[in-house]
Amino acid sequence: MGTEDAEAIAPGTCPTASGMPMLGLGTWQNDDADQCAESVRTALETDYRHIDTAQAYGNEEAVGDGIAAADIDREDVFLATKLWHSNLAYDDVLETARDSLDRLGVDSLDLLYVHWPSGTYDPEETLSGLSELYDEGLIENVGVSNFLPSDLEVAVDVCDAPIFANQVELHPLLPQKQIREACENYDIEVVGYSPLARGRVFNQAEIQEVAAKHDASEAQVSLAWAREKGVTAIPKATGADHIGDNWESLTVELDREDINTIDAIDETSRQVDPDFAPWN
């Protein structure tokens, strides 16, 4: 589990974690169909190979259009989506996953997540449905999202297919140490959404200090920090400038002093906190 041997990865090359590219394009709130499709196409032609969406984002069709428009083979793209919490009964898992495939215009998914352990989520029913999709070859990997360590323990116990990844909000202001440790124990990859804390990292003195040292942007430093933690980051970006700036984070190599500076940030800021979250 985790990053490939760093010595084998050239600067600017995207490392992988268990075959998953460790920098992806997030598409949350990218709900203008034309813009979303163009963002996905731009990212893929910038060398991104990991695209993340969800049923709740309302843009799966546009994401599929962007993949189709890019001059990239489908098998080279790691594509993930998520089942919304109203679609987690056994039959709904099977039906709505197929609906997502249709909207995305693909025959299979590289990763399908349970978006939240809430709503109609029932570990045995929901994960049985996902295991069936896995056995049928419609999904390559089963994922969960926003799962606490206790939720992971249950999921690992009841799911017939391996749990591949847990996607959680994760950034220097919410490092999620306990969840990372639990995932390490269960051999589960960690995928971090909102890795820039919705822009709050830009004004953090410690991030600014490290960015100035490396002549890098605050976004690039935050993404490099996540990579050093073994976390796959999926920052949202729409314009070519931000897509490109995030990609250049792969050239930023932080040293131990940098990591310690960022780890010492004495502030916690959770950006995604719905009432139905398992921690509420």
Dihedrals φ, ψ of 89, to 5°? -65, 155
CA separation (Å) from 145 to 38, 112, 167, 168, 225? 26, 10, 4, 6, 21
- Report whether 224 contacts 192 (CB < 8 A): no
CA separation (Å) from 20 to 24, 79, 165, 193? 9, 10, 10, 15
Place of tokens 């990591």: 259
Q: Is 57 a catalytic residue?
A: yes
Cα-based angle 214, 217, 218 (whole degrees, multiple of 5): 100
Distance CA 79, CA 138 (A): 12
Options 48, 57, 113, 134, the catalytic residue: 57
Contacts of 75 (CB under 8 A, 6+ apart): none
Output the six-digit token pair for 233: 């980051």
- Report whether 101 contacts 108 (CB < 8 A): yes
Residues annotated as catalytic are 57
